[in-house]
């Protein structure tokens, strides 16, 4: 199998958009750090992400368990066709790393990679929110991302260091080959009534705490609604 490869690296500052009093909810004020620019050189990758990278909603984005967001480059061919939108391309999802030779069926929770001087570890799939929908003015876009399984994933940073695009991700360890990103997405979003699968995934030691919390709530009989996350103030 070919090694995962970082095609491009992106960072971005929080951007304010929209205007007060807009009739259309899609035009109302909002802010996001998903509008990222390609980064040259070898930026520093710290415990909460790259220097010069920001998130707007610190409650739901960023932090040590979502330090780096990776998204497969090949998915944009699918989205261009699915949405009939040529303008959607790499970095549109707000990813830090545009990756090749890796996708949700190949990458697993706990996978640890050497990336330049740093060590990074897969922590969780991404659960898309309403902001890509606002960006592209497609109300159900977050749901489409979720239902397609083309979510991308997050890394935590085990060892800080400089890293850049044009580098391979060298797999050091794969402790949970059974828990691919695709398998996690299926448990979370498709097999919601399969409590045995939820229990098994929740017991995965290296799964991010917020995923464990959601799964453990499910085991106690509490199902979380996705409405607020996927539609937010757009609806």
Number of domains forming the structure of the chain = 1
pLDDT tens for each residue of the chain, 235 residues long:
589 999 999 999 999 999 999 999 999 999 999 999 999 999 999 999 999 999 998 888 899 999 999 999 999 999 999 999 999 999 999 999 999 999 999 999 999 999 999 999 999 999 999 999 999 999 999 999 999 999 999 999 999 999 999 999 999 999 999 999 999 999 999 999 999 999 999 999 999 999 999 999 999 998 878 999 999 999 8
37-38 and 153-159 as β-strands: parallel, antiparallel, unpaired? unpaired
Distance, CA of 59 to CA of 182 (rounded, Å): 25
CA–CA distances in Å: residue 43 to residues 60, 83, 136: 24, 33, 29
Q: In terms of residue numbers, what domain contains 15? A: 4-234
What pTM did the predictor assign?
0.97
Provide the CATH number for the domain around residue 178: 2.40.33.20
């Amino acid at each position: 199998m070919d090694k995962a490869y970082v095609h491009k690296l992106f960072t971005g500052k929080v951007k304010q958009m929209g205007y007060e009093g807009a009739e259309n909810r899609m035009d109302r004020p909002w802010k996001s750090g998903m509008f990222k620019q390609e980064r040259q050189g070898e930026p520093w990758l710290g415990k909460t992400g790259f220097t010069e990278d920001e998130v707007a909603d610190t409650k739901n984005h960023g932090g040590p368990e979502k330090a780096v967001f990776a998204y497969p480059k090949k998915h944009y061919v699918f989205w261009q066709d699915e949405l009939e939108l040529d303008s959607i391309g790499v970095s549109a999802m707000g990813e830090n790393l545009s990756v090749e030779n890796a996708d949700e069926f190949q990458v697993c929770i706990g996978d640890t990679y050497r990336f330049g001087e740093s060590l990074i570890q897969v922590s969780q799939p991404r659960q898309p929110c309403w902001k890509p929908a606002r960006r592209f003015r497609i109300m159900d876009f977050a749901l489409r991302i979720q239902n397609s399984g083309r979510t991308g994933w997050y890394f935590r940073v085990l060892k800080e260091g400089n890293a850049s695009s044009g580098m391979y991700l060298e797999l050091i360890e794969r402790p949970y080959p059974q828990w691919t990103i695709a398998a996690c997405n299926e448990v979370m979003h498709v097999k919601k009534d399969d409590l045995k699968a939820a229990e098994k995934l929740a017991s995965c030691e290296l799964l991010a705490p917020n995923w464990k919390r959601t799964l453990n709530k499910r085991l106690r009989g509490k199902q979380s609604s996705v409405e607020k996350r996927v539609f937010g103030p757009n609806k």
